[in-house]
Amino acid sequence: MLEAILNSLHNWFLIPGAARSGTFEVVSGTLDVDFLKCDQYFRVEGSVFNDGLHQHPGVDMQDEVFDGTVYPMAVPRAVVELAEEIKTWCEKNPETDKVSESFGGYSYTRGSTTQAGTSAAVSRWETAFAGRLRPWKKVGGL
């Protein structure tokens, strides 16, 4: 969920000048580098199997050697916590294109609740949390 949020924000919270390019190795699911702190988020580009967002030591990675770039990140705790809240909201409000349906005597109407607690039409997390995400949104780019 955090990766989708950062992508939507056009903000990866990259640390200026901290990107490292070269040959990297993932061993036993962990990126073998010494420039990331424990639990620090980082983004990988140029890998066949591991492009995207990870958290060091990244035991979820697939072993490989690749030429690419590793971007250390400084994601604010508030964004990480909001990502967990959005994930919970998404589990309770699965995305669908159906607002209402009826057949054979059965009728169902689905609405959602906005963050302000008011009833609204079915919405996506981007809409439901737009106001709270706005402070971190960038106009474009990484």
Within this chain, do residues 6 and 63 fall inside the same structural domain, yes or no?
Answer: yes
pLDDT tier at 141 (50, 70, 90 boundaries)? Answer: low
pLDDT score, position 111: 54
pLDDT digit string, tens, across residues 10-51: 999 999 999 999 999 999 999 989 999 999 999 999 999 999
pLDDT > 70: percent of the chain: 80
In this predicted structure, the answer to whether residue 119 has a pLDDT above a threshold of 70 is no
Higher pLDDT, 32 or 53: 53
Of 66 and 95, more confident: 66
On whether both 17 and 63 belong to a single domain, the answer is yes
Tell me the sheet residues that pair with 27: 30
Question: Quick check: 50 and 62 in contact, CB under 8 A?
Answer: yes
Domain that holds residue 40: 2-72
The total of structural domains in the chain comes to 2
66 shares a domain with 7: yes
Q: Identify which of 96, 102, 101 has the alpha carbon closest to the alpha carbon of residue 123.
A: 96
> Looking at the structure, do residues 14 and 61 belong to the same domain, yes or no?
yes
What pLDDT score was predicted for residue 107? 64
